[in-house]
Amino acid sequence: MAAQNPHLPRAEVLVDTDALRHNIALLSGLAAASGAQTMAVVKADGYGHGALHVARTALESGASWVGVCHLEEALALRAGGITAPIFSWLHVPDEDFTEAVSAGIDLSVSSLAALDAVIVAVNRTGKTARIHLKIDTGLSRNGCAPQDWPELVMAAEAAQRTGWVKVIGVWSHLACADEPGHPSIDAQAKRLTEAHALAVDAGLRPIRHIANSAAVLSRPDLHFELVRTGIAMYGLNPMPPGFGGDELRPAMTFRARVALVKRITAGEGVSYGLSWTAPHETTIALVPAGYADGVPRALSGRMEVLLGGKRRPVVGRVCMDQVMVDCGDDVVREGDEVVLFGPGTRGEPTATEWADTLGTIHYEIVTGMTRPRVVRTVVPVGGA
């Protein structure tokens, strides 16, 4: 029989730019209602969706900043033609900021040592660096400890007076924004406000930013002048059910094509270890995507796919390159589309469903979808 859907790749991550646009418009609209600008967080290759096109789409749809973790990510975006402010926030002690300062990247500074390293780059390039001072307000991750803050602020103010740096922001990151009402949220906001006040008293005029997606959706009072939204932009809701974000549309679909269809008789085992045995004669569809393509092996015996308009169980173990689907007596054809996860609008599993089964978060599922042998296709899929 001739293969169906010959245009589909073997395995594909499909990124829906319409969904991205919809989500960014929604989130930046919420931020704008508070008078805040929106930073699109595209670290880790845009949470697996492709950093450059997500950045472009976001900037066309309401965002005016782009955020990443590392300098390499920031410089790749600049080289890709992004002219909007790009903020980079996690650096190593011996980081060379020369290229970043040259490229006008906004840099997070958490310590005197980091400030010194930035000033070295300023002196090399002759360009003023744009910096955001990070205060640790309670996450105990990156950021300046509160007891060291006055000294960092004084040093930054002196560096600004010299013309070496411009202090653009004072910022922090929330630990529990996805747990509405958690007392740490207000405690962290209070510490940020105090840290900002100290900077203002020192003569600086920085903006403030602390809100991630969860806070964009649930805490307009914490939007301040800028919000940093990641996961919700990709259409995945960080909030518990009943706390908003229901209009978000997941942008990523993971799909493949049936490589082979065969009948097996009752009692035949399927896949390594023969952990599943056909209870009766049945049709097995082989799907050429396995754990090397982003299907976690831990989903063996615990996942379904959408195939031929129906959800069907994956049986036996997930292999490196393939999974097997039990189709019963239904007619399925080689070449048919198999949706492993998607927005859920056709009844297919979602990244959230995978995460729940695995005991993890949807962030980890989509961010893991950067596999060299899985094609990424970026298209307006439409819908709504």
Ligand X SMILES: Cc1ncc(COP(=O)(O)O)c(C=O)c1O
Which residues line the annotated binding site?
A: 141, 320
Alpha helices per DSSP H over 126-282: 149-162, 183-201, 213-218
How many other C-beta atoms can be found within 10 angstroms of the C-beta atom of residue 205?
10
DSSP-H helix ranges across 166-287: 183-201, 213-218
Q: Of 173 and 255, which CB lies nearer to ligand X in the complex structure?
A: 173
Shortest Å, Cβ 373 to ligand X:
27
CB of 356 to ligand X, least distance (A): 18
Under rule CB under 6 A, how many of the chain's residues touch ligand X?
Answer: 12
Binding of ligand X at residue 173 (CB under 6 A)? yes
Closer of 137 and 212 to ligand X (Cβ): 212
Question: Is residue 110 within the footprint of ligand X (CB under 6 A)?
Answer: no
230 touches ligand X by CB under 6 A: yes
Residue 220 CB, shortest distance to ligand X, in Å, is 15
Q: Are 213 and 229 in contact (CB under 8 A)?
A: yes
Length of the chain: 384
231 binds ligand X (CB under 6 A): yes
| Residue 238, SS3 per DSSP | coil
228 binds ligand X (CB under 6 A): yes
Alpha helices by DSSP H, the chain: 17-33, 43-47, 51-60, 71-79, 98-102, 112-125, 149-162, 183-201, 213-218, 351-358, 362-367
Contact status, residue 284 vs residue 325, Cβ threshold 8 Å: yes
Residue 213 in contact with ligand X, rule: CB under 6 A: yes
- Please provide the distance, in angstroms rounded to a whole number, between the alpha carbons at the two ends of the chain: 35
Kindly indicate which of the ranges 182-190, 206-214, 241-249, 250-258 contains the residues binding ligand X, using the contact rule CB under 6 A: 206-214
Which span (155-163, 207-215, 278-286, 338-346) binds ligand X, by CB under 6 A?
207-215
Please report whether residue 89 would count as binding ligand X according to CB under 6 A. yes
What is the footprint of ligand X within residues 33-72 (CB under 6 A)?
Answer: 41
Output the six-digit token pair for 99: 């290229």
Min dist CB 39 to ligand X, Å, is 8
Neighbours of 303 (CB within 10 A): 22
Nearer to ligand X, 225 or 268 (CB): 225
Burial track 212-222 (b if 16+ CB lie within 10 A, e otherwise): bbbbbbbbbeb
Q: Which residues are catalytic?
A: 43, 272
Span of 145-153, 187-195, 223-231, 276-284 interacting with ligand X by CB under 6 A: 223-231
Only one of the segments 52-60, 198-206, 222-230, 317-325 lies at the binding site for ligand X (rule: CB under 6 A); that segment is 222-230
- Using the minimum distance from each CB to ligand X, give the nearer residue, 247 or 281: 247
- Strands 260-264 and 282-287 turn out to be antiparallel
Q: What is the number of the residue whose Cβ is closest to ligand X?
A: 230
In this chain, which of 17, 88, 160, 229 binds ligand X, going by CB under 6 A? 229
If you compute the radius of gyration of the chain from its CA atoms, what whole number of angstroms results? 24
Residues that bind ligand X (CB under 6 A): 41, 89, 173, 212-214, 228-232, 238
